[in-house]
Structure 1
Amino acid sequence: MRLAALALCTALLAGCATPDRDARLRPGASLEADVVALYGQPRRVWPDGDGGRTLEYSSQPMGRHCYLVRLAADGRLVGVTDGLSPAGRARIEPGMTPEQVGRLLGTERSRVFFRLSGEEVWDWTVEPDASGYGLRFNVHFKDGVVVRTTQSMVFRDRFFPMQD
């Protein structure tokens, strides 16, 4: 009975694993095929200058993470980061191009163009702060480069409480 309970707990924990915390993925040992077998095909694959690749596992529009799985030129796992973590978001700077932002944060939740300001704003759903409200990270582009970043709170709609 205890063995069955232990097996069930292990299976449940493995089902909740994320690429950044998955003990089955080991830097230097795991291969691209291992990552794809566990997490499926990535949303995008970014070529890196050293011959390696970055696999993008974005959970947008409803999720709050974008796991960027870095592979060496030989296909071995180098490491995994969450592009939408506070540290990942802090890497966005004025003057960056949309491609540079996409490589760091992954696929955005939405894009909106504001005619009067001439800005295109991309946003991502991110982990909320202590307020309990939803949170979005916004990147403002003008003339093809980042001009600033902002955050916006998401207030739940009383008629559609599961939608933010």
Structure 2
Amino acid sequence: MRFAALASITLCTALLLTACATPDRDARLQPGVSRGEDVIALYGTPTRIWPEADGGRTLEYATQPRGEHCYMVRLAPDGRLMGIEDGLSYANRARIVPGMTPEQVSRILGTERSRVFYKNSGEDVWDWTIKPDMTGYGMRFNVHFKDGVVLKASQSMVFPNRLFPFDD
């Protein structure tokens, strides 16, 4: 009886840990050993596949609109895993500078949460949900495009709506 209960608890724990695995923390994925097929078998079809100049490719796993990450899985020309990074990390957001094209931004940050065009300013603003800061409020990273290039980047807080708390 005790063995069955222990086995059941162990199985549930293993399933929960597997369900919470993300590409950047998954021990089953090893750079230089794992292949693109392994990543796809574990995480499904990528949001986009970016070809790389060296013949490799990057598999994009976006979690927008609700998630706070975009996993960029870099594969070598032979299909082996080279590395995984979060496109929405602070370091990658800091790489967004005026003059970049929308494609350059997408290759770094991944698929955006939304796009809004502001007629009066002529700006097309794309945003991504990012990790909250110390205040605990939701945060967005915004990239402002004008005339087809980045004008600036900004961040904004998302304040909860009392009537619709899960709708931001």
TM class by shorter chain equals: over 0.9
| Partner SS state of residue 24, structure 2 | coil
Aligned counterpart in structure 2 of residue 158 of structure 1, from 152, 159, 162: 162
Any gaps of 5 or more consecutive residues in structure 2? none
Distance 2:16 2:137 in 1: 28
User: Where in structure 2 are the equivalents of 1:122-133 lying within 5 Å?
Assistant: 122-133=126-137
Asked whether 1:102 is paired with 2:106, we answer yes
CA displacement at 1:163 relative to structure 2: 1.5
Report the RMSD for the aligned CA atoms in angstroms.
0.9
- 1:100-120 CA-to-partner distances (Å, cap 9, x unmatched) read 000000000111111111111
- 1:54-74 CA-to-partner distances (Å, cap 9, x unmatched) read 000001111111000000000
Moved more, 2-11 or 137-146: 2-11
User: Where in structure 2 are the equivalents of 1:22-33 lying within 5 Å?
Assistant: 22-33=26-37
CA displacement at 1:7 relative to structure 2: 3.0
Distance 1:67 1:116 in 2: 35
Asked whether 1:12 is paired with 2:9, we answer no
Distance 1:111 1:62 in 2: 15
Asked whether 1:134 is paired with 2:141, we answer no
Asked whether 1:118 is paired with 2:122, we answer yes
Q: Structure 1-normalised TM-score?
A: 0.97
Q: Which residue of 2 aligns with 1:63?
A: 67
Distance 1:159 1:92 in 2: 35
Q: Which runs of 4+ in 1 moved over 2 A?
A: 1-8
CA displacement at 1:10 relative to structure 2: 1.9
Amino acid at match of 2:28: R
Q: Which residue of 1 aligns with 2:86?
A: 82
Aligned counterpart in structure 1 of residue 57 of structure 2, from 53, 56, 60: 53
Distance 1:5 1:120 in 2: 51
Aligned counterpart in structure 1 of residue 149 of structure 2, from 145, 151, 164: 145
Distance 1:143 1:6 in 2: 56
Distance 2:16 2:116 in 1: 39
- 1:120-159 CA-to-partner distances (Å, cap 9, x unmatched) read 1000011110101100000001111111100000011100
